Structure formats: C-alpha cells, structure tokens
C-alpha cells in the first residue's frame, strides 16, 4: 500500500477514535480537501462549526477560521494544522488597537468586519460578514446607516459600488488577491475569447469590472456548475480549481496569473501549510490547539451570531 493511503487510513481511524470532524477551505491542498468531511467557503465552515456534534474540529484553513470555530464552540477542541503560522495577510493588515482608534474617529458608525480578522477585531465589531453574505447583510441595513467596513478595501469598494453605499473603508488587502494583474487576465481572455472570468471580490476594482461573476469561493463554484460556458479564467487562489474540476470534469478552468507569471503568487502560502501529515499530527496530539481569551470570545460571538442570523 502507498504511504499516502496508509496515512489516510490512520487519519480515518484517529478521527473515529477522537470523534473528530475535518473541515477544509477550498484553498487547501487537493489531498486535504479530499479527506475532509466538509469543504466550503468561510461562511459554510462557520455554519458547519456552529452545528457539529463532534468533540474535536480539525479546521484545515487559516488561523482566523479556527478562531471563529472556537468562538462558536468554546467547549470543543479546535485544532488548525499550521497553527499560528497559518495566518492571513488580510487579517494581519488590521491590528485591533489601530482598528479601535479608527472606530473612535468615526462615532455613530456601525462596524462591519469581514470574517478574515482576528478575534480581538471581531470583538470590536457589530456584525461580521463573509464574501458570501456581505451584500445581503449590508443591503439589509437602513440606507442612511453610517458604516465602517474593514479590513478589505477591495471587498468594501465592491459592496459600495453594488449597493450605492458610502461605507468608510479600512485600507487593508490580501497579498494574493491584490496581486492579480488586469493586463495578464485580458491577454488570457484574448487567447481564450469564449472563457468567462470568475473573480473573488478581494481582487482590485478593475478586475471586478471585467468579471462575468464576482463572488465568494462557493459562489464562483456554483456559477461554474450551473453556467453553460466551457472555459473559465479563475481569478482567485488556485486551490479552488480542485473542486471546480471535480464538479465540472467536462469544463476547462484556467488559473489566472498574478503580475509575475513565473511566481506562484496565485497561491496562499498560509493555506498551503495544511498537509495530510499535519492533519494526522493534529488528530494524534490535539495540537496546535486554538484558544481565544474568554472575554474576547464572548464579545466576538455576538457579531458572528448576528451574521449567521442575518444570512439565513
């Protein structure tokens, strides 16, 4: 038997022994997505965490996803293969002390934070959103409500453009999505004129404007599943191609190049810290465990629950 097959069997056995569930984001390595019990976008992962009856959650994603699961299920053990190393440049672009000052400079504003934030930033927030529900949630608020949106300025700009709001934006960005090049994508489109362009809203506005579909990872997948084109240029982290190709084997998915086509800049190195070996270790040892200060967790729970309620 191949060593990878043996590893997968050992993971399955440990999972049963520990009554654990493995959840994976669409940007995880193919082999990790393959062994996961649940694969999803950030919103789906939060929903799965809120409803699971497992004792242990192995969250194959980045640190803030593990924190969200821990805040929703404080009594469960939550582990993230990769631990604190599995960060997120977008979450890091918004340190809580600076965000607190920003909020103080804008009195009377409702604070909406993208789920890609640390627990202390969520604790300062009124409503958490993901790219899967941000339009719906912002759209459900009174039109004259003053809003601060952080930390992703590209997603915030997209919501402002679509809803006509003027949310005050924190100037944060994701290093992967911010690097996609419009020129490279237009050249690709010239070579594949029939291809539709799928863009994550963390990309810059000019890329959003040339897209056939802008949406969360799950929304882009749904679009590809139900649309009638044969080819797609996929402008988000390349891990999503695994599920796209699996769902639509007859279609062609072309990963969009970033500004330097030689680099692997369309990959999130933090997401790629999730490995089969890491999942095995996490199940065996219960480490690296995600912990959140109980006071911060209590304050962060309210805006996450509000999100789950408003996006039903």
Site of interaction with ligand SF4 (CB under 6 A): 62, 88-90, 116, 174-177, 202, 237, 268, 270-271
Q: Which is nearer to ligand SF4, 47 or 177 (CB)?
A: 177
Provide the minimum distance between the beta carbon of 82 and ligand 13P in the complex, in angstroms, as a whole number. 14
Pairing mode, strands 127-129 and 168-169: unpaired
Q: How many residues does the chain have?
A: 312
User: Residue 77 Cβ, how far from ligand 13P at the closest point, in Å?
Assistant: 23
Closest CB 139 distance from ligand 13P, rounded Å: 18
Q: Which is nearer to ligand SF4, 11 or 211 (CB)?
A: 211
Binding mask 79-118 for ligand 13P (x = CB under 6 A): -------------------------------------x--
Using alpha carbons, select from 19, 24, 47 the residue that is nearest to residue 34. 24
131 counts as binding ligand 13P under rule CB under 6 A: yes
Specify the stretch interacting with ligand 13P by CB under 6 A; choose among 67-75, 129-137, 244-252, 281-289: 129-137
CA-wise closest residue to 8 among 28, 43, 32:
32
Give the N- to C-terminal CA distance of the chain in Å, as an integer. Answer: 45
Angle, helices 217-226 vs 240-247, to 10°: value is 20
Torsion (CA) 108, 112, 113, 118 in degrees, nearest 10: 50
42 binds ligand 13P (CB under 6 A): yes
Work out what residue 63 binds among ligand SF4, ligand 13P, none; the CB cut-off runs from 5 to 8 Å by kind: none
The pair of three-digit structure tokens given for residue 139, joined into one six-digit string = 């759209």
CA distance 42 to 50: 12
Q: Which does 160 bind (CB under 5 to 8 A by kind): ligand 13P, ligand SF4, none?
A: none
The option from ligand 13P, ligand SF4, none interacting with 89 (CB < 5 to 8 A, set by class) reads ligand SF4
Q: Least distance to ligand 13P from the beta carbon of 132, Å? A: 6
| Tokens 């999130």 -> residue | 268
Query: How many residues form the binding site for ligand 13P (CB under 6 A)?
Result: 10
Bridge partner list, 79: 58, 289
% helix / strand / coil in the chain, to the nearest 5?
Answer: 45, 15, 35
Q: How far apart are CA 273 and CA 211, in angstroms?
A: 30
Encoded one letter per residue, x for contact with ligand 13P by CB under 6 A and - for no contact, window 185-224 reads -----------------x-------------xx-------
Q: Which does 41 bind (CB under 5 to 8 A by kind): ligand 13P, ligand SF4, none?
A: ligand 13P
Q: Could you give the CA distance from residue 149 to residue 272 in angstroms, rounded to a whole number?
A: 28
Binding site for ligand 13P (CB under 6 A): 41-42, 116, 130-132, 174, 202, 216-217
């Amino acid at each position: 038997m191949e060593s990878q097959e043996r590893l997968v069997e050992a993971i399955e056995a440990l999972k049963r022994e520990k009554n654990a569930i493995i959840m994976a984001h669409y940007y995880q390595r193919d082999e990790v997505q393959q062994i996961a019990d649940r694969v999803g976008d950030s919103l789906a992962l939060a929903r799965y965490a809120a409803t699971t009856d497992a004792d242990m959650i192995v969250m194959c994603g980045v640190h803030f996803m593990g924190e969200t699961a821990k805040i929703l299920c404080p009594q469960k053990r939550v582990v993230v293969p990769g631990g604190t190393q599995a960060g997120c440049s977008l979450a890091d672009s918004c340190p809580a002390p600076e965000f607190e000052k920003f909020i103080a400079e804008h009195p009377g504003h409702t604070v909406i934070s993208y789920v890609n934030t640390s627990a202390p930033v969520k604790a300062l927030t009124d409503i958490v959103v993901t790219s899967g529900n941000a339009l719906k949630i912002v759209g459900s608020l009174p039109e004259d409500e003053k809003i601060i949106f952080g930390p992703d300025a590209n997603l915030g700009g997209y919501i402002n453009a679509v809803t006509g709001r003027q949310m005050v934006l924190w100037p944060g960005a994701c290093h992967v999505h911010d690097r996609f090049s419009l020129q490279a994508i237009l050249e690709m489109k010239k070579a594949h004129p029939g291809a539709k362009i799928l863009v994550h809203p963390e990309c810059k506005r000019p890329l959003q404007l040339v897209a056939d579909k802008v949406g969360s990872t799950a929304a882009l997948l749904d679009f590809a599943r139900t649309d009638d084109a044969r080819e797609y240029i996929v402008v988000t982290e390349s891990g999503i191609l695994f599920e796209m190709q699996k769902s639509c084997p007859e279609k062609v998915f072309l990963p969009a190049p970033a500004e330097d086509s030689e680099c692997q800049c369309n990959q999130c190195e933090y997401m790629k810290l999730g490995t089969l070996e890491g999942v095995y270790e996490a199940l065996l040892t219960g480490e690296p465990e995600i912990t959140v200060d109980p006071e911060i967790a209590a304050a962060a729970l309210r805006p996450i629950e509000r999100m789950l309620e408003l996006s039903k």
